[in-house]
Structures are given as C-alpha cells and as structure tokens.
Amino acid sequence: MEHKPKRQTRARIRNAALLLFNRFGEPNVTLSAIAADVGISHGNLHYHYPSKERIVDDLVQDYLVEIEATFALPGARAVEADDLWLFLHLTFETILRHRFLYRDLIELLSRHRVIEKQIRRVIEEQTRTAEALLAGLAARGALLVDPFETRALAERMVFVATWWLCHAYVLNPRAEPDGDTLARGVARCLSLAAPYLREQERAHFDKLSGHYTKKGGNKNDGEEDKVATL
C-alpha cells in the first residue's frame, strides 16, 4: 500500500482539526474525533501530533501568517477610504476562517501562554494599522477627527473585530458564522468611522455598508464581491 507523505498527512490533520474546532469549539474536540475525521488511526495521528496542543500551535501559526498580511499599508501614496475598508474586510475574513480562536479565546489564553502573547501582538498591530489608516485619511482632510481621537477610534474598531464572533454566538448559538456574520461586522466597523468622514467619503462608506447589508458578503455576487476578496 502506498503511504501518504508525512507533510500531506500533517496538513490533512490540521485541515480536519480546523473544521472541527470551528464547528464545535476546540475544547469539545478530541484527538480521536480528529483521527476519525481524517480516516487514520489514533496511533497514526499521535505519531504526527502527540497532543492536541501541538495541533493548536500549528493552526495558530497558520493564522498568524494570514493575519499579518492584513497589516500592510498603502506605502508612499495617500490613504484612501477603500484602504480602511479593505483592511477591515480582510481582517474579518481571516478571523472567520480561524474563528475557533475567537470563539474560545479566553479558554485558549488560559491554557496557552504563547497564544496569549501572540494574540496580544496581533491586537496591537491591528490597532497600529487602523490608526495609521485613519491618520492618513485625516492628513488629507477626508476624516475630520481630532488627532487624539484617532487612537481611540482605532481601538474601538479592533475591539469590535476581536469580539464580533462572540457577540454573534451569544445572539444565536446554533447558527454557524458565515458571510452574513462577516458582513455585519465589517459594516459595524465602517459605521464607527462614518460620522467623522467628509461628505464624499461618508457617502462611499454608506454605499459599502449598504452593499454588505444587502448581499451579506456573498463572494459570488459580481465583480464587487470578487474585489472584496483580493
């Protein structure tokens, strides 16, 4: 019988674990359940991952690679309103893909000291990125906000992003988070900045928010949704 390469098996284990963790919550998923989902013996899984914590560690590293890509700033050009929108969209999209981290955040932090440090760094970087984008909009007069308020506004946006899935779960524990959940979170963050925007940018943000509310972040509804996933 032809054996699958070790790396391929480890990837299958991680993918299965991510789906199970996202659906049932990391504390409720056992190694046996992961092995059964992959279609391998418990002993084979233990060979690749001797503990569930090792799987969680690898999934967190996958998450960090994705979330760190959202911290990119426009560079030399002036910040546009769409830059803030794209940052928020990609942030929520990444959170949705790795939602077990946010659904079980307090539980995970209590058991994983490394995750505690990594999540804290992510929140700090997200806040710095949001603050830089808001400051860029303010610098060209698109955002009418006191410089001292920029940091507070960035913190509020990151707060919503961090706890949005928990909020959605409390409201409807039996509903699986989806594109609608992402859409409402992005729209809520956009609404935080909207009151400070110049009329032209405010109209643009209102249009974006309306687009999310109407289509629920569905990626198959035309070119605008394709752009939203870039």
How far apart are alpha carbons 141 and 230 in whole angstroms?
27
Is the distance from CB of 102 to CB of 162 less than 8 angstroms?
yes
- For 141-163, what is each residue's pLDDT tens digit? 999 988 889 999 999 999 999 99
Task: Choose the most confident range, by mean pLDDT, from 96-100, 190-194, 203-207, 217-221.
Answer: 96-100
What backbone phi and psi angles, to 5 degrees, belong to 49? -135, 100
Per-residue pLDDT, 199: 83
Q: What tens digit of pLDDT does each residue of 123-145 get?
A: 999 999 999 999 999 998 999 98
What mean pLDDT value characterizes the chain?
Answer: 86
pLDDT at 220: 37
Q: Is the pLDDT of residue 37 over 70?
A: yes
Q: Amino acid identity of 206?
A: D
